[in-house]
Amino acid sequence: MSKYLLVTLVLLVAVALWRHKHRKTVAPKPRPGAAPRNHLPVQTMVCCAHCGLHLPQAEASAAQGQFFCSPAHQQRGARQP
């Protein structure tokens, strides 16, 4: 009888150790305020004054305080409402 109890205890300890080790290999939670990995930086989005397309400000062309998605739309100007 005690032989089965000893085997059961050894198995329970082995399973507990395996689960503890397995739990440690999971990716750690990100720290608050830490920048996420493998992500692009946040960019300001603007709206094309001609067609309404949203695009990053760095890719837009600006004229007279308005943003356009392409030089052709910049030449045509802002669409009238």
pLDDT in 10s for each residue of the chain, 81 residues: 788 899 999 999 999 998 888 775 566 677 777 666 677 788 899 999 999 999 999 999 988 889 999 999 999 888 876
pTM of this prediction? 0.50
Q: What residue type is 79 in one-letter code?
A: R
CA–CA gap between residue 48 and residue 63 (Å, rounded): 11
Cα gap 29→17, rounded to integer Å = 22
pLDDT at 16: 92
User: Domain map of the chain by residue range?
Assistant: 2-26+43-76
Per-residue tokens: 19: 């689960």
